[in-house]
A and B are shown apart, each in its own frame.
Chain A
């Protein structure tokens, strides 16, 4: 019995140590944000500020257009997710329920599209958007983010619809629902958790983008997204690490919140389409 207790204690120490090391960079981000800039230039460093300046978040929002950046990121993400969800709900349902000529090759193509490098697509998209005079407008990244999101959401939703028994629509149609009515009134309500998880996953993809925002929006300061804004702060001659850290926390918070909510569904999202 004693051996088992030792093993158990070792396990706890191991887990605690691993978590501490791996999460430390995030902890350090928080410490940096809460420290006075002058304090950061002291050695040895202090691992918790004497007087945490909790006001830093309000202050940074007043000094920098963080709220504008966050708002732009949110607008872009909502736009891209809305477009993607509409087309992927329909496509995912079709791929799950119908055998359509070319459906399988479409599925395979979408799967491959998930693996496309952004640095490849960004060049032709830049040319196309310039013709359409979309460079500098949020529409450019809404459309570009849709290229990232649609492949994911279509496969996630197809997988989700596959788990819903066909008898549900069957019953609805016997009761006089049209096939589309069955989708809207029966299948979508039952799939609400899956739809929410999928949409949030798309939101994370859009929110995390840097390449497209950097290319299409650099010259349109008013439309900068959060990630783009943060990198310009980092690029300034004298980096004020506490301000950058505080701003970074504000940018990361929505994604952290989504992660806590999504954790259960994460595996489904990450592997969507990985299975045949």
Chain B
């Protein structure tokens, strides 16, 4: 056994050729399909190209794309829409996710079923979620219009997808419905890691339910909340499918987030250089956010 004598896995500090060999396929593939495209993307953003043809000679270096971008009203509108979406969707995802997690964390019969059901929207593909809500909010026969009229909230049907505010509200609704189960699942995992003793001790001291929530549950969940919040915000920030299939960014660009604007510029108007510049900006935001998350991630969840 001469070879195994070299490989002492009990001493992880040992560098070994096999370690490199095993990593090689992943490194190669990641270099080809992630790193290289990223370089191409940054490179394109500094060229005046309309269609990404890599077989043609490189156009001269220019910062025109970025100059145009920062001067464009559309870009700042997209930033504002993205900011609104990220804030509102994250807020409601947390409200709903934490609420459902606290609810099904109680002991009762059928708890397993309830846990399965509250996180069910996680298992619905985004495109299908859009189909469901596009029909619920249909302007002529949608259930929501009927419900709103029955409840006396409005006196005539709303055309959800032609009014900027209404369309934004529908996009928000779909995203919250699709996004809260993730928060719920994460919070449940966090809740289960809080030692029962904390609560027993608090009960002995006469702490009421809301005090236990405020002084034990929330502080203990803080690290998980931090990571989950960043992940949810990044998801909303990056999301393409829900908005694109539901509204296409309209009406009047009221739901055009940075992702949608990137895609429209690239594949609607074929301004690949300009679109790449927006993409690079979103990349910088994503990298900063994910670094923040990695820095504060708890050791175990």
Q: Which residues of A contact B (CB under 8 A)?
A: 8, 11-12, 14-15, 18-19, 22-23, 25-26, 28-29, 32, 40-41, 43-45, 83, 86-88, 90-91, 93-95, 97-101, 103, 106, 108-128, 130-131, 143-144, 146-147, 150, 154, 166-167, 169-170, 173-174, 176-180, 204, 207-208, 210-211, 214-215, 227, 230-231, 234, 241, 244-245, 248, 251-252, 255-256, 258-260, 263, 266-267, 270-271, 274-276
Contacts and interface: CB of A to CB of B under 8 A. Distances in A.
9 contacts: A32-B135, A90-B25, A117-B262, A121-B38, A179-B18, A210-B126, A227-B127, A245-B131, A267-B188
A100 B128 contact: no
A18 B128 CA distance: 21
A87 B25 contact: yes
Interface stretch (B27-35, B199-207, B214-222): B27-35
Contacts, number: 319
Given A15-B103, A227-B125, A234-B245, 16 more contacts: A19-B117, A19-B118, A25-B177, A86-B25, A88-B26, A98-B14, A115-B234, A117-B240, A117-B262, A123-B52, A124-B41, A127-B54, A131-B55, A146-B29, A166-B10, A210-B240
A15 B7 contact: no
B77 interface: no
Residue with the greatest number of chain B CB neighbours at <10 A, chosen from A88, A121, A130:
A121
Interface stretch (B64-72, B160-168, B291-299): B291-299
Given A230-B131, A267-B301, A97 B290 contact: no
A31 to B, nearest CB: 10
Contacts of B59: none
A267 B279 CA distance: 30
A131 to B, nearest CB: 5
Contacts of B100: 18, 22
Contacts of B151: none
A255 B125 contact: yes
Contact of B262 (A110, A120, A124): A120
Contacts of A252: 123-125, 128
Interface in B270-285: 272, 275-276, 279-280, 282-283
B208 interface: no
Contacts of A90: 22-23, 25-26
B124 A119 contact: no
Contact of A251 (B4, B15, B128, B241): B128
Contacts of A23: 117, 120-121
**Complex A-B, nearest 10 residue pairs according to Cβ-Cβ distance, in ascending order:** A98-B19, A127-B52, A259-B123, A91-B26, A124-B40, A124-B37, A173-B4, A120-B279, A94-B22, A210-B241
Contacts of B114: 15, 19
A16 to B, nearest CB: 8
Contact of B7 (A43, A123, A124, A173): A173
Contact of A147 (B34, B103, B141): B34
A117 B4 contact: no
A118 B38 CA distance: 11
Chain A binding site: helix, strand, loop or mixed by DSSP? helix
Given A98-B22, A146-B33, A234-B245, A266 B120 contact: no
B88 interface: no
Contacts of A29: 128, 131-132, 135
A116 B103 contact: no
Contacts of A86: 25
Given A119-B279, A154-B26, A207-B125, A18 B118 contact: yes
B132 A248 contact: yes
B250 to A, nearest CB: 14
B92 interface: no
B267 interface: yes
A145 to B, nearest CB: 10
B146 interface: yes
B248 to A, nearest CB: 10
A271 B30 contact: no
Interface in B205-257: 227, 231, 234, 237-238, 240-241, 244-245
Contacts of A98: 12, 14-16, 18-19, 22
B238 A215 contact: no
Nearest to A167: B10
B189 A267 contact: yes
Nearest to A41: B141
Contact of B125 (A15, A208, A245, A276): A208
B266 interface: yes
Interface in B90-140: 96, 99-100, 103-104, 106, 108, 110, 114-136, 138, 140
Contacts of A119: 238, 240, 259-260, 262-263, 266, 279, 282
A23 B181 CA distance: 11
A161 to B, nearest CB: 11
A256 B36 CA distance: 35
Nearest to B115: A263
B213 to A, nearest CB: 15
